[in-house]
Chain A
């Protein structure tokens, strides 16, 4: 069983479309994250949720909206997709909202906007 699973794994879509990426973790963790890794491989945090509450919202366009229906799920909805949104998006989770805690990553969603 995959600990942190994301769907879809690949997503190709046209500019202007709206798309969602789903993430689920079965580890019983309290904290979940979304990271973006661009073509230069830089991994940047976008959002962090602890017990379904938004804790961190980095400088991300408001076209990106995370939704956490419960502790095990953190979905990412993107409106009006732009070419620059093309990247790999990683969901992750950690046991608690604490700096010493290991993060477990999903396999990533490779988004290509054309």
Chain B
């Protein structure tokens, strides 16, 4: 089983839709969780960290479910500019300096 797994998609949604991605991780000792965004032919950039209590940043909500070992990203009111690949990142406390990236979920928002 992969350390970090994501549904690759693609997810094709109309503008204004709500879309959610999940990411599962295999190691229960994982400590830190992030969502990164990567536009086509660009570098990954941090979208948001994922906190135990869940966190929200505008239209984006991230949640962590430790019992089931997954994190999620919810995007409300999708915009065309949300089209990108979303990468889930998981880190172990004992492996600082090595974050494991998921393979990414591709989102395309259409007019």
Show the binding face of A for B, using Cβ within 8 Å.
31, 33, 35, 40-45, 48, 50, 55-56, 58, 90, 97-100, 102-103, 105-108
Known pairs A41-B104, A48-B98; A99 contacts B43 (CB<8 A): no
The segment out of B16-24, B66-74, B86-94 that lies at the interface is B86-94
B30-84 interface (Cβ within 8 A of A): 31-32, 34, 42-46, 49
- Is B104 touching A99 in the complex (CB atoms < 8 A)? no
Also in contact, A97 and B43, with CB within 8 A (given A41-B103, A42-B103, A43-B101): no
Chain B neighbourhood of A55, CB < 8 A:
97
Could you tell me the distance in whole angstroms from the C-beta of B47 to the nearest C-beta in chain A? 10
Task: Give every chain A residue within 8 A of B99 (Cβ-Cβ).
Answer: 45, 99, 103
Candidates A31, A35, A43, A44; contact of B97 at CB < 8 Å: A31
Q: Is the CB of A41 within 8 A of B85?
A: yes
Offer 28 A-B interface pairs, CB within 8 angstroms, sorted by A. A40-B103, A41-B104, A42-B101, A42-B103, A43-B44, A43-B87, A44-B101, A45-B100, A45-B101, A55-B97, A56-B95, A56-B97, A90-B43, A90-B44, A97-B96, A98-B96, A99-B31, A99-B91, A99-B93, A99-B95, A99-B96, A100-B32, A103-B46, A103-B99, A105-B44, A106-B43, A107-B43, A108-B42
Query: In the complex, how many residue pairs between chain A and chain B have their CB atoms under 8 Å apart?
Result: 57
Q: Which residues of B contact A56 (CB under 8 A)?
A: 95, 97-98
Contact of A105 with B97 in the complex, beta carbons under 8 Å = no
Question: What residue in chain A is nearest B100 (Cβ atoms)?
Answer: A45
Cβ–Cβ contact A45 & B98, under 8 A: yes
Residue on B nearest A90 in the bound complex, by CB: B43
In the complex, what's the smallest C-beta–C-beta distance from A96 to chain B, in angstroms?
Answer: 8
Picked from A41, A98, A100, A108, the residue with its CB within 8 Å of the CB of B49 is: A100
